[in-house]
Amino acid sequence: DAGERILVGQASLRQPMVVLGLQTPAWTQPNPAGLVLAMRFNLDAQAAGARLVFQYSETGYYVFEVFPGLMVLRRSAATSDLFFRGGEQILRQLSAPITANQWHSVTIWVDGSRIFVYLDRQLYINAEDLTQPQLSAGQVLLQTNSTTRPARFDDLVIRRAELPSSHFQGGELPTNWQYSDMGRVS
């Protein structure tokens, strides 16, 4: 809704940007259907990382972090410190086709303890976090880790996941199809 503008971040980890919403943003309220976060990003060739922090609360937080050629999904340490990456638990880390000075899209779907990360419409991360306590609703923040090399963000959308659909022929899945949770898919 910025009117054809992008957000350029050049800041240290200690200078996050908190994403605000309406008076009570939907992502700060528990939702049994889950949460979907989507955005586009563009990294400087020597970028020191761009981070999307989500479900941030006193209990902890998750972080999706990108660098040219690399993506990392993290969870906060037992003693949560948003400004110290070294203490964060790595849930998944992998090489990814993230090219500098090129726009990429990411979609993160959080479904209870499961987190799915799609980069440029391809599933790259399918993780399950069984660490206690489980994280639920919380704030969303953007972080960068360089005051000189920019990270660009655009088209940030945060919404509740939709409830399951029963719009299948006959109301049931064919026998050669599977689902992970009958309560969420029918």
Q: What pLDDT is stored for residue 186 in this prediction? A: 37
Distance CA 31, CA 161 (A): 8
Residue with the two structure tokens 């957000």: 7
CA dihedral 183, 30, 37, 18 (to 10 degrees): -170
Which is more confident, 71 or 170? 71
Name which of 71, 52, 55 is nearest 63 in CA terms.
Answer: 52
166 has a pLDDT exceeding 60? no
162 has a pLDDT exceeding 80? no
Q: What pLDDT is stored for residue 182 in this prediction? A: 47
pTM exceeds 0.85: no
pLDDT digits (tens, 9 = 90+) for 16-29: 777 876 667 777 77
57, 128 Cβ separation under 8 angstroms:
no
Q: What pLDDT is stored for residue 4 in this prediction? A: 72
Q: How many residues does the chain have?
A: 186
First-last CA distance in the chain: 35
1 has a pLDDT exceeding 60? no
pLDDT digits (tens, 9 = 90+) for 41-97: 999 888 778 999 999 988 899 999 999 999 999 999 888 788 888 889 999 999 999
The mean of the pLDDT values for the chain is 83
pLDDT digits (tens, 9 = 90+) for 134-158: 888 888 999 988 878 889 999 999 8
What is the band of 185 on the pLDDT scale with cuts at 50, 70, 90? very low
